[in-house]
Amino acid sequence: MAYVTATVADPVGSQRQSSYVLMTPENRAMQDDSSQNPAMFWVLDGESLWQAPAGSRQTSCAKCHGADGTSMKGVAASFPKFVGSTLLNLSDQVNVCRQTHQGAEPFAQESKPLLALTSFIGQQSRGMPIAVEQNAVNAQALEAGKTLFYQRLGQLNLSCAQCHAERSGQKLGGNPIPQGHPTAYPLYRLEWQSVGSLQRRLRNCMTGVRAEPFALGAKELVELELFLMWRARGMVIETPGVRP
């Protein structure tokens, strides 16, 4: 079974950096100060959802996992991962729990409740290293995500790697090109004026190269998430982040 190997052009080890370091001091301060970080509104909504009974079983996340959510420490740092035979990201796992344990309908992809809950859960891992590792279970999906990262797409015939590996640190439209590490999702993007998921950003990039984006929740996007999290392994979770 093939395993992922690093590409020379891709920053590795101590060469890797979060796009946090490319932001203005004002934007970094916004992320760092919970009283200024607009994503905290989503975190607070997520905390309320965490404690609220839901579904036909009228049970809450807090009933199983504790009221303050600290039992989720490290959880966001380990996704995407296989649960049984299915590769799930954190949003998928939330919906599995809703259906299985609460008897509730799954939240729609990219909906405010789902972003709120994943922001609340993600915040519990803030400051912890990303812990996604390659193994015999995820190797095939990881390789598929790597292939998509290096695949040229769209009318512009560009890949993720051409910007975020080969040309990271250079300028595009006057702005520095980040390395593309998903350390801060879900995050508040000033351009969006809202919180969004990593999949929303990936779809934006696909549209930017004039490619047909995969649907939210598509297997291909989860595989790409897996590769990106593996690529950022050991880097620190910043959720909820702020970006321009």
Active-site position among 64, 97, 160, 205: 205
Q: Dump the DSSP string for 104-117.
A: -PPPPTT-HHHHHH
Task: Tell me, yes or no, if 160 is annotated catalytic.
Answer: no
Q: Dump the DSSP string for the chain.
A: -------TTS--GGG---GGGGS-HHHHHHHH-TTT-TTHHHHHHHHHHHHS-BTTTTB-HHHHH-TTSGGGTTTGGG-SEEETTEEE-HHHHHHHHIIIII--PPPPTT-HHHHHHHHHHHHTTTTSBP-----TTTHHHHHHHHHHHHS-BTTTTB-HHHHHTSSTTSEETTEEPP-----S-SEEETTTTEEE-HHHHHHHHHHHTT--PPPTT-HHHHHHHHHHHHHTTTSBP-PSEEE-
CB atoms within 10 A of CB 4: 18
List residues with catalytic annotation.
205
